[in-house]
């Protein structure tokens, strides 16, 4: 069953077509790899899935609901009766309006998609524990006044968030570093911390952008085992990775991009032996 569906996905930046009518599905419970040369459009696709960019053309569906499509112009909004009442706190109106726009990144997180980034993005002056607690933000209810007055309900919620954060630190092997500043962690541990923070959002789909970048061989093997454990816990994984040992070692299916177009899709063996993929990306030495 498809958890995520991309249909005719296209993104243009001026005259540059970064992603060109790409279609693929991510099935529930699988690890899918998205590979291709630098500039092939991989991270741009991630950015459209997570609401950072709206598509120029095409649609994205998550659990059967549309979460992204081309943005409405102001003229189109003004001509849409639903837009005029979209601010009303009525769930039926909100649901219909959500289906007519690209959701914002925090709304997509709330629906069950979390991600890491190619370049590590941590709160470097917060502790390791606090970074993971930040990933739990959308699961909290307390507002400004609750944080100031600190009623019993706020204290209970805070204790719950700390306990949950510690659970994810333990899973990623970072419990001993809980009180360290994130900026003081070794590079490989920072990578693991970013994954822990993404897991704290309790996603159904985890998107990993080059998680093995900069890791040594032992750290890479440990990461591969961790990704399998995450999948075995019931979380679907979509990843970009340039290390072919990682891709071929953990992915059940692979989608290959070149110059923004999908050129291949299949099992690791099928992709590895595809002439177009060999020519565009893998090269003879990888086969």
Render pLDDT for 103-141 as a digit per residue (tens, 0 to 9).
Answer: 899 999 999 999 999 999 999 999 999 999 999 987 777
Residue 181 lies in a domain: yes
Of 183, 202, 221, the one marking the end of a domain is 202
Single pTM value for the model: 0.86
Number of domain units in the chain: 2
Q: Environment class of residue 153 by beta-carbon count within 10 Å: exposed (0-12), middle (13-18) or buried (19+)? A: exposed
208 and 107 belong to one structural domain:
yes
Tell me, what's the pLDDT at 83? 54
Residue 75 lies in a domain: no
Tell me, what's the pLDDT at 277? 92
> What average pLDDT does range 222-233 have in this prediction?
97
Q: Distance from CA of residue 130 to its chain's centroid? A: 20
24 and 106 belong to one structural domain:
yes
66 and 108 belong to one structural domain:
yes
Residues 6+ apart with CB under 8 A from 187: 120, 214, 215
Instruction: Please write the tens of the pLDDT for every residue from 171-197.
Output: 999 999 999 999 999 999 999 999 999
Please name the helix (run of DSSP H) or strand (run of DSSP E) that holds residue 113, with its range, or none: strand 113-115
Contact in structure between 215 and 241 (CB atoms under 8 Å): no
135 and 272 belong to one structural domain:
no
What's the CATH number where 42 sits? 3.40.50.300
281 and 149 belong to one structural domain:
no
235 and 106 belong to one structural domain:
yes
């Amino acid at each position: 069953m498809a958890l995520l569906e991309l249909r005719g996905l296209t993104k243009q930046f001026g005259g540059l077509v970064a992603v060109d009518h790409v279609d693929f599905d991510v099935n529930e419970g699988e690890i899918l790899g998205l590979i291709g040369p630098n500039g092939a459009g991989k991270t741009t696709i991630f950015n459209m899935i997570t609401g950072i960019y709206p598509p120029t053309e095409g649609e994205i569906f998550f659990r059967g609901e549309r979460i992204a499509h081309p943005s409405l112009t102001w003229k189109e909004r003004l001509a849409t009766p639903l837009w005029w009442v979209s601010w009303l706190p009525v769930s039926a109106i909100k649901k219909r309006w959500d289906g007519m726009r690209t959701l914002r990144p925090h709304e997509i997180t709330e629906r069950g998609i979390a991600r890491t980034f190619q370049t590590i993005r941590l709160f470097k002056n917060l502790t390791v524990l606090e970074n993971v607690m930040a990933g739990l933000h959308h699961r909290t209810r307390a507002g400004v006044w609750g944080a100031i007055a600190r009623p019993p309900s706020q204290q209970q919620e805070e204790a719950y968030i700390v306990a949950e954060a510690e659970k994810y630190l333990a899973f990623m092997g970072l419990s001993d570093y809980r009180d360290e500043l994130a900026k003081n962690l070794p590079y490989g541990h920072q990578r693991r911390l970013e994954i822990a923070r993404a897991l704290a959002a309790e996603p159904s789909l985890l998107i990993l952008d080059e998680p093995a970048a900069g890791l040594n061989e032992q750290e890479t093997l440990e990461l591969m085992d961790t990704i399998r454990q995450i999948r075995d816990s019931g979380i679907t994984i979509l990843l970009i990775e340039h290390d072919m040992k990682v891709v071929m070692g953990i992915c059940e299916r692979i989608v290959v991009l070149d110059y923004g177009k999908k050129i291949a899709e299949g099992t690791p063996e099928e992709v590895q032996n595809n002439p177009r993929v060999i020519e565009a990306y893998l090269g003879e030495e990888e086969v």
